[in-house]
């Protein structure tokens, strides 16, 4: 039996496998692009009659009245963007905070120091506790993503709305002159929708932010400590800016999710065609409008709804492109901090 | 998603092959052939229909009946596309839709129900609303619970000085159709705008999805009022308002009051009977029939036989189940008429 040489040209079979694998990947990659294009085309072609009939007035009017045959979606566009932005602000604040908390070892250190008191910190079982606790928290946050939308909606109806009603009533009574609190919270409305939505996008922001925070090279951290920076200064001035690009990516992704979220919003937002900056006023979103109208839509309505779907698609696209562009610009400034 | 496959036509040939093959081969067998009926439509009578179909299947081992409660609009659509054996609708069927079905359509009223106003007011157990009051509330003109128009009909009741939170359906629904049809009949202003529709442009209110959404909103919102189906309200023990009818009497929503209104409703040949404002002294003002949509011609004889037997069962035994579930049993003369109309459904 001859010994196998260390190097040898690939066999025919290997070469064929390689080519087949390459082409398959290539094919699938294109397939997904074609699929997206196909979806857009189908929606656009179904929307075409409505686009011809209603034109741009569809985007600027404020009434949706099937009886009169007037359809326009400005309130829905406003509600979609307003609710997503508000949810994004809350979700980002909490999400990034949670990510810092989980990635900078706050939990681990605390448990480690507690164990130290009992001299258990290098114990066979107890010594693993800090790491396990962090893992548990991480999984718990990510578990939020696994809760079905309709459950969030029901939770919002039966828990969130009654819980925020007293505070909302007080804010409206005392600070009613401030536009954000301009109306009374009747029941479903913008604020409950935004609160639930921000919890729904939390896992996306946290997971991606945490990944980019842990990816910051440890020597940067060590260098900052070595220069005499406190932990606080290190996190704010060194680690966060370095991880900014990744965090921003997560935020854009979460924004996309918030724009398209349907079921929970259809249940919580109040579905009223109103444009109001008040947090307590009922509003409507494009996705909720689609979910509510499609099941019983007549053939003529379908075109109008497809037009609305196309607008939603366009908004999502614009947000993603804008996000990518900002990302591109922001990344230039902080690349110096990378290794 | 069903929305994007707007080509049920594609499946027709396949369905036809399947149907014809099963009808053709089963016959020579001594054993009873398996028959499967597929229906879809209104969600309002769905609990009653499921009960009927379940108890019918339990005594007929060879029959399987599927009913999907996808809403009246969806039911009519599937029925026109012929993807089902029968449809169901709360809003009957429009003449132009009927014209689109080759061979003809037989509408059959199956049961009836009331639409009630439920509310959430601490300490007010028996709210009476005059016609002016409740049409005004849903027009957004009466904004406060202690409005004189409400107070006048409720002497002694502790009506709070708080805003009325109106809750309406967000999704397209037969219940909304019936309710807005009634409001249009009693208020000229409502008729002009928003008018009768499955999903009208309400001037006020927060909107919730489905009967369950409206119910949840009312339960959790003090000072809320909204419309839902009687059976739904009864099962959940919701407070129901007593409404003034055309005769000027205040009538609480009960099965008997609903039946009184139905008895006064003229039943035309095509069974599409609306009575948006019944003129009966003891009748509850908002009642409606709900219909099963059948083709006048069925290609499959076995299916036809089962369907006729099933309909006979629902018109006799089945009517006894109605009341327990909060539906109004059909008046006896209507049952006779519907039974006679079964003759119109024939084999191809």
Task: Encode pLDDT of A248-257 as tens digits.
Answer: 888 988 998 8
Quick one: pLDDT at residue A338? 47
**Interchain CB distance below 8 Å, B206 and A158:** no
Quick one: pLDDT at residue B17? 45
Distance CA A87, CA A199 (A): 8
> Given a cut of 90, is residue A294 above it in pLDDT?
no
What would the pLDDT profile of A99-140 be if each residue is shown by its tens digit?
Answer: 998 888 788 888 888 888 888 888 888 888 888 888 898 899
Chain mean position to CA A105: 25
| Residue B20 banded pLDDT, cuts 50, 70, 90 | very low
Comparison of pLDDT for B311 and B193, the residue scoring more: B311
What residue in B sits closest to A189 (Cα-Cα)? B206
Distance CA B250, CA B244 (A): 4
Which residues in chain B are contacts of A169 at CB distance < 8 A? none
> Given a cut of 60, is residue A77 above it in pLDDT?
yes
Quick one: pLDDT at residue A2? 58
Element (H, E) at A169: helix A161-175
**Interchain CB distance below 8 Å, A267 and B209:** yes
Distance CA A78, CA A282 (A): 12
Query: Who's near B275: CB < 8 A, 6+ residues apart?
Result: B261, B262, B264, B265, B266, B287
Mean pLDDT across A6-15:
88
Quick one: pLDDT at residue A99? 92
Quick one: pLDDT at residue A3? 66
Chain mean position to CA B250: 24
Quick one: pLDDT at residue B5? 42
Report residue A330 as tokens. 């922001």
Distance CA B172, CA B210 (A): 9
Which residues in chain B are contacts of A262 at CB distance < 8 A? none
B36 and chain A: CB distance < 8 Å anywhere? no
Distance CA A153, CA A268 (A): 6
Quick one: pLDDT at residue B52? 94
What residue in B sits closest to A40 (Cα-Cα)? B4
**Interchain CB distance below 8 Å, B213 and A157:** yes
pTM exceeds 0.80, yes or no: no
Select from B229, B255, B230 the least CA-distant residue to B319: B255
Closest partner CB to A184 (pick from B6, B163, B216): B163
Quick one: pLDDT at residue B93? 86
At residue A296, the 3 state secondary structure works out as helix
What would the pLDDT profile of B143-160 be if each residue is shown by its tens digit?
Answer: 999 999 999 999 988 899
**Interchain CB distance below 8 Å, B220 and A186:** no
B217 and chain A: CB distance < 8 Å anywhere? yes
Mutation pick from A76, A186, A302 vs chain B, by most beta carbons of B within 10 Å, is A186
> Given a cut of 80, is residue A240 above it in pLDDT?
yes
Comparison of pLDDT for A1 and A207, the residue scoring more: A207
Please say whether the dihedral angle defined by the alpha carbons of residues A32, A37, A38 and A40, taken in this order, is positive or negative. Answer: positive
Share of chain A above pLDDT 90, in %: 41
Mutation pick from A68, A271, A304 vs chain B, by most beta carbons of B within 10 Å, is A271
Share of chain B above pLDDT 70, in %: 91
Mean pLDDT across A79-102:
94
Distance CA A312, CA A289 (A): 11
Which residues in chain B are contacts of A151 at CB distance < 8 A? none
- Interfacial residues of A (vs B; Cβ cutoff 8 Å): 42, 46, 63-68, 154, 157-158, 161-162, 184, 186-189, 266-267, 270-273, 282, 288, 291-298, 302
Size of the A and B interface in Cβ pairs below 8 Å: 103
Query: β-pairing, B105-120 with B63-69?
Result: unpaired
B73 and chain A: CB distance < 8 Å anywhere? yes
Maximum pairwise Cα distance, chain A: 93
Beta-ladder partners of B40: B68, B87
- B221 to chain A, closest Cα gap in Å: 6
Quick one: pLDDT at residue B16? 45
**Interchain CB distance below 8 Å, B217 and A294:** no
Which residues in chain B are contacts of A64 at CB distance < 8 A? 201
Quick one: pLDDT at residue A315? 93
Distance CA A111, CA B3 (A): 53
Distance CA B132, CA A95 (A): 52
Strand spans (E) along B70-154 = 86-89, 105-120, 128-129
Please say whether the dihedral angle defined by the alpha carbons of residues B124, B125, B129 and B134, taken in this order, is positive or negative. Answer: positive
B208 and chain A: CB distance < 8 Å anywhere? yes
Least confident of A67-76, B129-138, B285-294: A67-76
**Interchain CB distance below 8 Å, B198 and A296:** yes
Beta-ladder partners of B161: none
Which residues in chain A are contacts of B193 at CB distance < 8 A? 65, 67-68
B89 and chain A: CB distance < 8 Å anywhere? no
What residue in A sits closest to B180 (Cα-Cα)? A67
Which residues in chain A are contacts of B171 at CB distance < 8 A? 291-293, 295-296
Quick one: pLDDT at residue B31? 55
Strand spans (E) along A163-266 = none
Mutation pick from A187, A299, A300 vs chain B, by most beta carbons of B within 10 Å, is A187
Quick one: pLDDT at residue A330? 65
**Interchain CB distance below 8 Å, A282 and B72:** no
Which residues in chain A are contacts of B163 at CB distance < 8 A? 184, 186
Mean pLDDT across B23-31:
41
Scan for tokens 């505070």, then name that residue. Answer: A167
**Interchain CB distance below 8 Å, B208 and A188:** yes
Report residue B7 as tokens. 């080509």
> Given a cut of 60, is residue A287 above it in pLDDT?
yes
Closest partner CB to A158 (pick from B163, B199, B220): B220
What would the pLDDT profile of B205-251 be if each residue is shown by its tens digit?
Answer: 888 887 888 888 898 888 999 999 898 888 888 999 999 999 999 99
Distance CA B85, CA B41 (A): 11
Mean pLDDT for chain A overall: 88
Q: Check if the interface score ipTM surpasses 0.90.
A: no
Closest partner CB to A161 (pick from B163, B197, B220): B220
Mean pLDDT for chain B overall: 86
What would the pLDDT profile of A149-192 be if each residue is shown by its tens digit?
Answer: 989 998 998 899 989 988 988 898 888 888 888 888 878 889 99
**Interchain CB distance below 8 Å, B206 and A186:** yes
> Given a cut of 70, is residue B165 above it in pLDDT?
yes
Mean pLDDT across A53-64:
89
Which residues in chain A are contacts of B167 at CB distance < 8 A? 187
Which residues in chain B are contacts of A273 at CB distance < 8 A? 201
Among A56-70, A320-334, B273-287, the range of highest mean pLDDT: B273-287
> Given a cut of 60, is residue A339 above it in pLDDT?
no
**Interchain CB distance below 8 Å, B206 and A68:** no
Quick one: pLDDT at residue A82? 94
**Interchain CB distance below 8 Å, A64 and B201:** yes
Beta-ladder partners of B144: B163
């Amino acid at each position: 039996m001859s010994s196998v040489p260390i190097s040898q040209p690939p066999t025919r079979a290997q070469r064929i496998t390689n080519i087949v694998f390459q082409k398959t990947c290539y094919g699938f990659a294109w397939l997904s692009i074609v699929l997206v294009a196909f979806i857009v085309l189908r929606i656009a072609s179904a929307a075409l009659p409505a686009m011809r009939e209603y034109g741009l007035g569809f985007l600027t009017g404020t009434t949706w009245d099937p009886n009169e045959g007037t359809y326009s979606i400005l309130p829905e566009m406003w509600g979609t963007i307003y609710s997503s932005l508000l949810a994004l602000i809350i979700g980002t604040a909490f999400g990034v905070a949670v990510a810092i908390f989980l990635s900078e070892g706050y939990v681990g250190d605390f448990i480690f120091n507690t164990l130290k008191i009992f001299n258990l910190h290098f114990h066979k079982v107890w010594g693993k506790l800090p790491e396990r606790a962090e893992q548990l928290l991480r999984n718990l946050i990510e578990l939020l993503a696994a809760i079905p939308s309709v459950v969030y909606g029901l939770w919002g109806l039966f828990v969130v709305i009654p819980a925020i009603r007293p505070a909302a009533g007080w804010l409206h009574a005392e600070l009613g002159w401030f536009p954000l609190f301009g109306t009374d919270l009747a029941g479903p409305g913008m604020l409950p929708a935004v609160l639930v939505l921000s919890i729904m996008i939390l896992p996306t922001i946290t997971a991606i932010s945490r990944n980019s925070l842990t990816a910051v090279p440890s020597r940067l951290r060590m260098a900052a400590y070595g220069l005499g920076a406190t932990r606080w200064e290190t996190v704010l001035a060194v680690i966060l800016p370095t991880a900014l690009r990744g965090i921003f990516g997560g935020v854009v992704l979460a924004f996309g999710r918030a724009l398209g979220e349907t079921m929970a919003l259809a249940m919580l937002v109040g579905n009223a065609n109103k444009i109001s900056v008040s947090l307590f006023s009922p509003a409507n979103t494009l996705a909720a409008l689609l979910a509510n109208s499609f099941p019983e839509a007549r053939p003529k309505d379908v075109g109008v709804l497809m037009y609305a779907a196309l607008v939603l698609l366009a908004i999502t696209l614009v947000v993603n492109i804008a996000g990518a562009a900002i990302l591109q610009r922001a990344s230039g400034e902080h690349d110096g901090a990378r290794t | 998603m069903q929305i994007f496959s707007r080509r049920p036509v594609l499946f027709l040939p396949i369905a036809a092959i399947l149907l014809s093959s099963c009808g053709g081969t089963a016959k020579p067998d001594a054993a009873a052939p398996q028959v499967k009926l597929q229906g879809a439509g209104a969600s309002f009578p769905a609990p009653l229909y499921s009960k009927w179909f379940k108890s019918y299947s339990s005594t007929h081992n060879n029959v399987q009946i599927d009913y999907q409660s996808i809403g009246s609009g969806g039911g009519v659509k599937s029925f026109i596309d012929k993807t089902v054996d029968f449809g169901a609708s709360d809003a009957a069927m429009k003449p132009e839709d009927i014209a689109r079905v080759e061979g003809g359509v037989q509408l059959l009223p199956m049961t009836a129900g009331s639409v009630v106003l439920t509310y959430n007011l601490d300490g007010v157990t028996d709210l009476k609303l005059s016609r002016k009051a409740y049409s005004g509330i849903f027009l957004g003109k009466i904004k406060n619970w202690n409005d004189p128009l409400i107070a006048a009909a409720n002497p002694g009741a502790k009506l709070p000085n708080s805003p009325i939170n109106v809750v309406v359906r967000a999704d397209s629904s037969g219940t909304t159709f019936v309710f807005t049809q009634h409001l249009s009949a009693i208020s000229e202003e409502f008729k002009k705008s928003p008018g009768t529709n499955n999903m009208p442009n309400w001037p006020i209110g927060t909107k919730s999805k489905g009967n369950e959404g409206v119910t949840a909103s009312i339960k959790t919102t003090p000072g809320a009022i909204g419309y839902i189906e009687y059976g739904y309200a009864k099962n959940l023990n919701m407070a129901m308002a007593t409404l003034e009818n055309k005769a000027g009497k205040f009538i609480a929503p009960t099965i008997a009051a609903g039946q009184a209104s139905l008895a006064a409703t003229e039943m035309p040949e095509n069974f599409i009977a609306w009575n948006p404002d019944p003129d009966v002294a003891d009748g509850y003002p908002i009642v409606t029939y709900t219909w099963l949509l059948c083709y006048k011609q069925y290609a499959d004889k076995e299916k036809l036989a089962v369907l006729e037997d099933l309909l006979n069962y629902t018109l006799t035994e089945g009517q006894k189940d109605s009341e327990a579930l909060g539906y109004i049993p059909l008046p006896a003369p209507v049952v006779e008429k519907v039974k006679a109309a079964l003759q119109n459904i024939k084999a191809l």
